[in-house]
């Protein structure tokens, strides 16, 4: 295959992967927007009654997301977990796109040279598995906050003190060495590849490679995701703001500047909330 033909195929391959990533992100965001719209509908005031538009296959979603409602059922837990998982896919897909596109481009060229590597889908699946696992933890945290009556019907903390503490903790984490190490791995896909043995030829190896990259991403962003409990898990503007911050941190070449500025603002806001609470 000539270099010109190879480049043409490579460009098409990247286009296909780009379209796939966009479709995945759009579908995930559409689901989040649909849930947010349903939650905005008038709800019943009596404890234990279903929230309008949220009665999915008989599940009492009012019990799952508002304080003072009856205990969660397994179906409630499954629904909230699905909500978190889809939201994480929508928020994190844009920021991992550079790495996925790099993988796809190198994979196409390696295949043309007779040394194929595992499909991009294996790598991307491994990455998403990390955030799906995180969604289980987030669902458990929501269950705990709900059982302690610390969440409003909008799935935001109704405790100014708790909100302030979460903001301070997230802000301080933005300045930690752990944040810096993880963020550097996410900011430089080529350096990540070089430091972790390059691409894998077997599917299981590619899956594990994606999990490793996802683990660094989780280490970089988990504290930011905790902020969803401050602004509201279904607050679309808040979700979009966090997703944009994650994207800027990973793709804008400013090193640690963006996380440190945002971290300082978070900590200052948290202190302001705590002062106002007393």
pLDDT in tens, 41-96: 644 433 333 443 444 444 445 545 544 456 788 898 999 999 899 889 888 888 88
Query: According to the model, what pLDDT value does residue 55 have?
Result: 47
Structural domain contains residue 48: no
Is residue 47 domain-resident?
no
Per-residue pLDDT at 253: 81
- Domain carrying residue 7: 3-42+53-277
pLDDT score of 15: 63
Per the structure, the count of domains in the chain is 1
Which ranges of the chain have pLDDT less than 50?
1-10, 42-60, 63, 66-68
Return the pLDDT at 4: 47
pTM assigned to the model:
0.79
Q: Examine residue 69 and state whether it is found in any structural domain, yes or no.
A: yes
CB atoms within 10 A of CB 7: 12
End-to-end CA, the chain:
72
Closest CA to 39 of 63, 14, 61: 61
- Burial call 94-127: b when 16+ CB within 10 Å, e when fewer: bbbbbbbbbbbbbbbbeeeeeeebbebbbbbbbb
Taking alpha carbons only, the member of 146, 159, 142 closest to residue 47 is 146
Q: How many other C-beta atoms are found inside a 10 Å radius of the C-beta of residue 268? A: 13
Q: For residues 205 and 123, what is the distance between their CA atoms, to the nearest angstrom? A: 9
**pLDDT at 39 (0 to 100):** 65
| 202-217 tens-digit pLDDT | 889 889 999 999 999 9
Burial of 128 (0-12, 13-18, 19+ CB in 10 A): buried
Note whether residue 257 is domain-resident. yes
pLDDT given at position 225: 95
- The CA distance from 80 to 29, in Å, is 16
Neighbouring-strand partners of residue 151: 157
Helix or strand (DSSP H, E) at 61:
helix 61-65
In a domain, 190, yes or no: yes
Q: What is the CA radius of gyration of the chain?
A: 21
């Amino acid at each position: 295959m000539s270099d010109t033909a190879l480049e043409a195929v490579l460009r098409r391959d990247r286009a296909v992967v780009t379209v796939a990533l966009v479709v995945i992100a759009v579908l995930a965001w559409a689901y989040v927007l649909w849930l947010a719209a349903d939650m905005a509908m008038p709800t019943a005031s009596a404890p234990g009654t279903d929230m309008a538009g949220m009665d999915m296959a008989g599940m009492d979603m009012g019990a799952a997301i508002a304080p003072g409602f009856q205990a969660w059922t397994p179906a409630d837990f499954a629904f909230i977990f699905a909500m978190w998982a889809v939201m994480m896919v929508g928020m994190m897909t844009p920021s991992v796109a550079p790495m996925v596109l790099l993988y796809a481009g190198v994979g196409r060229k390696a295949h043309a040279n007779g040394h194929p590597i595992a499909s991009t889908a294996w790598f991307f699946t491994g990455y998403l598995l990390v955030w799906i696992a995180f969604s289980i933890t987030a669902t458990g945290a929501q269950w705990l906050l709900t059982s302690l009556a610390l969440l409003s019907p909008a799935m935001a903390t109704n405790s100014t003190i708790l909100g302030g503490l979460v903001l301070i903790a997230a802000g301080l984490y933005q300045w930690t060495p752990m944040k810096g190490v993880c963020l550097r791995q996410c900011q430089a896909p080529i350096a990540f590849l070089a430091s972790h043995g390059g691409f894998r030829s077997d599917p299981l190896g590619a899956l594990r490679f994606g999990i490793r990259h996802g683990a660094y991403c989780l280490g970089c962003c988990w504290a930011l995701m905790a902020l969803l409990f401050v602004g509201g898990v279904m607050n679309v503007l808040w979700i979009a703001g966090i997703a944009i911050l994650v994207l800027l941190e990973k793709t804008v070449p400013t090193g640690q500047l963006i996380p440190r500025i945002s971290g300082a603002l978070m900590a200052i806001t948290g202190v302001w909330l705590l002062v106002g609470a007393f």
